[in-house]
Homo-oligomer: A and B are copies of this chain.
Amino acid sequence: MTHATDVTTLMADIGTAARAVAPVLAAAPSAQKEQALHAAAGAMRASVAQILAANARDMAEGAAQGLTPASLDRLRLDATRVEGIAAAVELVATLPDPVGRELARWQRPNGLDIARVAVPLGVIGIIYESRPNVTADAGALCLKSGNAAILRGGSECLHSSLALHGCLVQGLEAAGLPAQAIQLVPTTDRAAVGAMLGMSDFIDVIVPRGGKSLVARVQADARVPVLAHLDGNCHVYVDAEADLEMARSVVLNAKLRRTGVCGAAETLLVDQAVAHSHLAPLVKALLEAGCAVRGDAAAQAVDARVSPVTPEDWDTEYQDAVIAVGLVEGVEGAMNHIARHGSHHTDAIITGNAATAERFLAGVDSAIVLVNASTQFADGGEFGFGAEIGIATGRLHARGPVGPEQLTTFKYVVRGVGQTRP
């Protein structure tokens, strides 16, 4: 048997098992799923030593392979981080069960009673990179939403993921749920990813979690529907009727609270009508906070530290303490700029004018549009979803934060008394 056949067989076995247990999960009562999640969190707390030992092995191998310090930091677990992972699993347990919600119900003139009822998607494949916590987060969210999960983590975090996955399985078994409800692909062979992308018989949707190259590969090659986040080129537009203090506070937060998150602002647009009053304070505040500024002529005129913005800058997601700054002609100019350069992720306007705000909210075609609030609120937790498996930038099914509800679909339940169609 060749090596490729090994992986193909392994993945087919995993897919078959996931498909087989999906109906059990779909029918699992809320209390049983909650019990499994609480038990899994308990197992993580009881297994801190083993989890950290597994993580130490990943860290040693990663260091030997020359992982960057940033990658090693993403990979590193300590007792506090393990407790955070367990607490996140417990939080998912306490969320409302998204399965079985009656989304709509109506009667037809012929007496048919039609209900649209939330049901799980089925089997969800998660492909992720070096953060071991995704193993627990994604597994917990899939279980909460009644889906079977196939987790394929980065090779760097395999041992940590196996340890955390073992705790999830303990939770499942404690609650009488099948261990195959959450499966972790137990190989670092990259062929496993290719196999998952083609498993349309076994996997209903794939969620990639990681860098742009991973997500782009999944989107290009998947024969299975994908819920993915590609770019987060987010804008803050400061309108002529913006309160300057509010603008300063929101811009600094949107850009700098965390620069590596997808909701971080990458471009600041300022209404040219208030260039004289608003541009310099905003640019200086960014510079003083340690942010590099690449600006148009007006922004460059503010401060010698502002470097010239290039056409590419407007399309760049820096994910760093860098921002592009330019003037636009009012809200229409801002909307045109965002339509040309934005990524349909998250964009904000700062204005005191309600009509201008509504124009922006209606006209900007992004998953999340905000008025007078930071783009860094683009997060399932901040939306009240309790947790998220990612932020979707596609248009179908889920858009924006993908929480437990977005991991369900629906079916129509029709109740009659013998009706036939004329």
A375 — nearest CB in chain B belongs to which residue?
B421
Which residues of B are found within 8 Å of A415, using beta-carbon distances? 357, 361, 370-373
C-alpha spacing A108/B246, complex, angstroms: 19
A412 in contact with B394 given A420-B250, A421-B253 (CB within 8 Å) = no
- Of B253, B365, B369, B409, the residue contacting A414 (CB under 8 A) is B369
Q: Judge whether A369 and B411 touch: CB under 8 Å.
A: yes
Q: Judge whether B420 and A23 touch: CB under 8 Å.
A: no
Contact with B along A333-349 (1 / 0, CB 8 A): 00000010000000000
Which residues of B are found within 8 Å of A108, using beta-carbon distances? 382-384
Q: Judge whether A225 and B368 touch: CB under 8 Å.
A: no
Contact with B along A389-422 (1 / 0, CB 8 A): 0000011110110000000011111111111110
Q: From residue A359, how far is it (CB to closest CB) to chain B in Å?
A: 10
C-alpha spacing A419/B375, complex, angstroms: 10
Q: Judge whether B383 and A400 touch: CB under 8 Å.
A: no
C-alpha spacing A370/B246, complex, angstroms: 55
C-alpha spacing A383/B413, complex, angstroms: 11
Q: Judge whether B243 and A421 touch: CB under 8 Å.
A: no
- Of B205, B369, B396, B411, the residue contacting A412 (CB under 8 A) is B369
C-alpha spacing A394/B397, complex, angstroms: 11
C-alpha spacing A374/B254, complex, angstroms: 55
A416 — nearest CB in chain B belongs to which residue?
B373
- Of B112, B114, B374, B416, the residue contacting A421 (CB under 8 A) is B374
Which residues of B are found within 8 Å of A384, using beta-carbon distances? 106, 108, 114
Q: Judge whether A372 and B250 touch: CB under 8 Å.
A: no
Q: Judge whether B114 and A27 touch: CB under 8 Å.
A: no
C-alpha spacing A415/B377, complex, angstroms: 11
Which residues of B are found within 8 Å of A114, using beta-carbon distances? 383-384
Q: Judge whether B370 and A414 touch: CB under 8 Å.
A: yes
C-alpha spacing A366/B249, complex, angstroms: 50
- Of B257, B372, B413, the residue contacting A417 (CB under 8 A) is B372
A377 — nearest CB in chain B belongs to which residue?
B421
Stoichiometry, copies per complex: 2
Q: Judge whether A418 and B112 touch: CB under 8 Å.
A: no
Q: Is A122 an interface residue (CB 8 A)?
A: yes
A409 in contact with B395 given A372-B415, A416-B370 (CB within 8 Å) = yes
Which residues of B are found within 8 Å of A397, using beta-carbon distances? 396-397
Q: Is A119 an interface residue (CB 8 A)?
A: yes
Q: Judge whether A395 and B122 touch: CB under 8 Å.
A: yes
Q: Is A376 an interface residue (CB 8 A)?
A: yes
Within 8 A of B (CB), among A347-370: 357, 361-363, 365-370
Q: Judge whether B420 and A374 touch: CB under 8 Å.
A: yes
A420 — nearest CB in chain B belongs to which residue?
B253
Q: From residue A45, how far is it (CB to closest CB) to chain B in Å?
A: 27
Q: Is A320 an interface residue (CB 8 A)?
A: no
Q: Judge whether A414 and B23 touch: CB under 8 Å.
A: no
A112 — nearest CB in chain B belongs to which residue?
B373
Q: Is A121 an interface residue (CB 8 A)?
A: yes
C-alpha spacing A363/B26, complex, angstroms: 9
Q: Is A296 an interface residue (CB 8 A)?
A: no
Q: Judge whether A249 and B27 touch: CB under 8 Å.
A: no
Contact with B along A197-221 (1 / 0, CB 8 A): 0000000110000000000000000
Besides the contacts A225-B225, A373-B415, what 15 more A-B pairs have beta carbons closer than 8 Å? Answer: A112-B377, A114-B383, A121-B395, A122-B365, A250-B420, A253-B421, A357-B415, A371-B416, A372-B415, A372-B418, A373-B418, A374-B421, A382-B421, A396-B396, A396-B409
Give me 23 A-to-B residue pairs in the complex whose CB atoms sit less than 8 angstroms apart, sorted by A's number: A23-B363, A27-B362, A108-B382, A114-B383, A119-B365, A122-B365, A204-B396, A205-B395, A243-B418, A252-B420, A253-B420, A257-B420, A257-B421, A365-B411, A369-B414, A370-B416, A371-B414, A377-B414, A377-B421, A396-B397, A397-B397, A399-B409, A399-B412
